[in-house]
Amino acid sequence: MKKGLVTVLSAGILFGSAYQASASYEPGTKAQKLMVVEQNQSESPQLLVTQGSEKAPAFISGKISKKTYVTKKAIVTFLKENKHLFTFNPEKNLTFVKATKDQLGMTHYEFNQSISGVAVDNARLIVHTDKTGKITAINGDVLTNLPTTANTKKTLTEASAIQKAWKHLSLKPSKVAKPLAFKGATPKSLGEKAHVVMVKDGATYKVAYKVELQFIDPSPANWQIYVDAKNGNIISSHNAINEDGPTTGSGKGVLGDTKSLNTYLYQGSYYLLDATKPMGGDNDIETYTANNTQTLPGNYVTDTNNIFDSTTQAAAVDAHAYAGKVYDYYKNTFGRNSYDNKGASLISTVHVGTKWNNAVWNGQQMVYGDGDGKEFTYLSGALDVVAHELTHAVTEYTANLTYKNQSGALNESMSDIFGYFLDPSDWWIGEDVYTPGKAGDGLRNIQNPTLAGQPDNMSKYLNTTADDGGVHTNSGIPNKAAYLTITAVGKAKAEQIYYRALSTYMTASTNFSGARAALLSATADLYGNGGTEYNAVKSAWTSVGVN
C-alpha cells in the first residue's frame, strides 16, 4: 500500500488488506456515513472495514456507536438510519432469528435477509454489541438491492420437491444406502429434508425448496438441490460433501501408545469408521461406545480434529485399530475376507456396562468391558484379546465348534492360538490388560498352561459341569500342543496348518482326538505325509496325552 494512501486513510477509516477499493465503493464515503447519526466525524473513529462480494461491507468492526442498543427493535432502527450502507430495506428485508448473549456479556443479534417474509438462502447479518449495548461489529453475507416484495405463493408440495430432487439425481431413495448419520434407522429415515427459501435465478429471486439429500452409497453425497416451488424446475444443484470420505487420523490407546487410524470424515466430524478394506459393498470396520450402558451397538465414536487422544477414546482407538489388524491378518495370510469370508462388517462396541471384566463375540459384533481396574483394565487394549474374540467369529463360520466340553475347550484354544499368531511377542494371552500394574503375568499361557492354573496334559484333564464343561480350563491341553508344534515347525507353517484344520476338517463335535486327526490331515495336505512337519504335529499331541 502506498504511503500517501495510508496517511489519508488514517485520518478517517483504516481498511484491512482484505478490502479492495472500487469505483462503486470508494474508501471513506459510505463507511464514513455510518458515523453521521452517532458521532462527530472530527473524532476520527478507527474502524476496520472488509468488503464482500456484493460490493457492500462484509465485516465492520471498531467503535461503531456511542449510543446503546439493547433490543432487536433498536438494532433494526440503527440499521434503518444507516441503510445507505447496505442498500436494502432493514424493515422489509430482515427477519429476526435470535439474540445470543455470551460469557463476555456481549450480545449477538442474528438476522436473515428476507423477501416478503421468506428467508433468502445463505444471507445472514449479525450485529454485535458489547456488554453496555454499544455496537462493536457488523458482519454477514449481505446481499444488496433486494426487492421488498415478491410472489412467494407455492404450488409444489414439499414431498413433490423431494421426489423431483431424487429424480434429478437419477436415483431412488430405496436404492441408496442409509446415510452415516442415520445408520441403523428405518428406510424412512434417509437423509432427506426440504425447506422454503428465496434463491436468485438470473436477475430475479424465486421461491424455492432447498432439498438436502444425504447418503454414503453409491458414493458419499450431501446434495443441495433448489427446486422451483411453482413449476418444479431444478434451479441449481451441487454436492456439498467436500472432502467427506476416508481419511487417516491418529489416537492414543489404552497403554498410551499412538496409533494410526483409518477414519471417515462426514459433515465436519471424523468417525472411527474404516472404509478402506476390500470387503465389498458398503461393509466396513465401525467402532461405537455404549457409554457404560448395555445398549448395542451404541453411539459412533467421533472427533472434531481426527486426533482421538482423550482418555475416554482410548478403548475405542485400540478396538478400532486392532480390528483392522485382525482383518488384515486373515486377508493377507489366508485370503479370508472377514470372519464370514464374505466381507462382513466388523462392529466393535467399547465401554459396555460398568467395570465389566469381559470381552465377547456375541454372534454379531465385538463387545468390550472397561474392566474393574484390578483384574482387568479396558479389554480392547490387547491385540491378542481382540484377535481371540474375532477368531471365535471365524470358528463360528468354519468348524462351528460346539461351546461345551472338549469341542468348547478346542474352540477356546483356537482363539488363544490365533491370538498368539497375531501377537507373537510372548506366550501370554491378555497380558497387556490383565492385572494392570503387575508385570509378568497374563490370563493364560500357551507355553506353560500351568502358570495360569490350566492342565497341560490329558492326565490332568478337569471333569466338571462348570464353565460349559471347563472350556476355559481344559483349553490348556491343546494350547500346549500348539506351543510344541509352533516351536518345532515355525510360526509361518503352524498358522497355515491350524487355519486349514479349522476351516477344512474340524466340525461342530470335533474333540481333542479329532483335532489331532484334523491337524495331521491339514499338515499332510500342505507339507506331505510322514515328513518333518507331520511328525512334529504328531509328536506334539502325543506329548500332551492325546492319541
Catalytic (active-site) positions: 389, 472
Rounded distance between C-alpha atoms, residue 50 and residue 441, angstroms: 66
- Grid cell, residue 376, equals 482387568
Q: What are the start-end ranges of the E strands in 12-117? A: 14-15, 47-51, 57-62, 94-101, 107-115
- Name the DSSP class of 442: -
Sole residue written with cell 405463493: 153
Rounded distance between C-alpha atoms, residue 244 and residue 225, angstroms: 18
Q: Tell me which residue of 414, 396, 534 sits closest to 478, measured CA to CA.
A: 414
Q: Cα 430 from chain centroid?
A: 27
Q: Which helix (H) or strand (E) holds 406?
A: helix 405-422
Sole residue written with cell 416484495: 149
Rounded distance between C-alpha atoms, residue 179 and residue 372, angstroms: 36
- Residue 122: left (phi > 0), alpha (psi -120 to 50), or beta? left
What contacts 154, CB < 8 A, 6 or more positions away? 196, 207, 229, 230
Rounded distance between C-alpha atoms, residue 88 and residue 147, angstroms: 8
Q: Are strands 273-274 and 366-368 parallel, antiparallel or unpaired?
A: unpaired
Rounded distance between C-alpha atoms, residue 146 and residue 36, angstroms: 24
Q: Tell me which residue of 73, 54, 61 sits closest to 122, measured CA to CA.
A: 54
- Name the DSSP class of 177: P
Question: How big, in percent rounded to 5, are the helix, strand and coil portions of the chain?
Answer: 30, 25, 40
> Dihedral sign, CA of 528, 397, 423, 249?
positive
What contacts 345, CB < 8 A, 6 or more positions away? 279, 283, 284, 285, 286, 338
Start-to-end C-alpha separation, the chain: 93
Q: Cα 383 from chain centroid?
A: 21
Residue type, 183: K
3-state class (DSSP) for residue 415:
helix
